[in-house]
């Protein structure tokens, strides 16, 4: 038994010694990080406003067809407004917006659904012209100055079997680098 233990101990030292005595090699890797400026999403103060809507209508605000002061022509009965947001970040960076696919508008006793539509322009658009159609989750870029503009309109579907009153709800839009 003592001979077997001595052979096992000796074999262990031999394996260790051979591993340490072999030829080795090294490799080097470089770690890099690019720190981007924080994204800033500002709402310009104009909310989505369908105004007065009659039962039986299907109100929709097209965010790609925006005129001065974020207004859109609404079924021949006057101007209504879409929301506009300006995003600022790293020049030319790829970004992505997210938010709810629909929200509930209520008047304390009844509810209706608002489904948002978006448009985006790769610039800080102060001319209120609207942008190209945009779907949440798509990649878009900021311009060479790190600016972009997104508009939000949407639709209420057909207004039927709902009581008169003012309906409101809140929507949260988010943006991240992608």
**Residue 47 is part of a domain; what is its CATH number?**
2.60.40
pLDDT of residue 68: 60
Whether 135 is in a domain gets the answer yes
Q: Per the domain annotation, does 31 fall within a domain? A: no
Q: What does residue 17 show for φ and ψ, rounded to 5 degrees?
A: -65, -40
Q: How far apart are CA 176 and CA 178, in angstroms?
A: 6
Residue 164 maps to a domain: yes
97 close to 147: Cβ distance less than 8 angstroms: no
Residue 16 lies in a domain: no
Q: pTM (2 decimals)?
A: 0.77
Give the pLDDT confidence score for residue 4 in this predicted structure.
42
CA distance 94 to 92: 7
Segments in the chain below pLDDT 70: 1-21, 68-79, 125-129
Number of domains the chain contains: 1
Q: What is each CA distance from 173 to 15, 113, 124, 132, 170, in whole angstroms?
A: 63, 17, 17, 18, 10
* CA-based nearest residue to 69, from 83, 58, 87: 83
Q: Does residue 22 belong to any structural domain of this protein?
A: no
Under 8 Å CB-to-CB from 65, ≥6 apart: which residues? 72, 73, 130
Inside any domain, residue 20: no
Q: Is residue 33 part of a domain?
A: no
Inside any domain, residue 14: no
Domain that holds residue 101: 40-177
């Amino acid at each position: 038994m003592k001979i077997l233990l001595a052979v096992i101990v000796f074999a262990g030292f031999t394996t260790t010694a051979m591993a340490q005595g072999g030829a080795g090699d090294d490799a080097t890797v470089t770690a890099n990080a690019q720190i981007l400026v924080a994204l800033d999403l500002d709402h310009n103060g104009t909310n989505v406003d369908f105004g007065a809507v009659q039962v039986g209508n299907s109100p929709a605000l097209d965010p790609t067809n925006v005129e001065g002061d974020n207004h859109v022509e609404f079924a021949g009965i006057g101007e209504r407004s879409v929301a506009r947001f300006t995003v600022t970040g790293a020049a030319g960076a790829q970004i992505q917006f997210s938010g709810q696919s629909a929200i509930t508008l209520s008047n304390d006793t009844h509810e209706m659904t608002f489904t948002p539509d978006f448009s985006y322009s790769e610039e800080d658009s102060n001319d209120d012209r609207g942008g190209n159609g945009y779907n949440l989750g798509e990649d878009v870029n900021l311009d060479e100055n790190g600016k972009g503009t997104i508009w939000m309109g949407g639709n209420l579907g057909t207004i039927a079997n709902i009581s008169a009153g003012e309906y409101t709800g809140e929507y949260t839009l988010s943006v991240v680098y992608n």
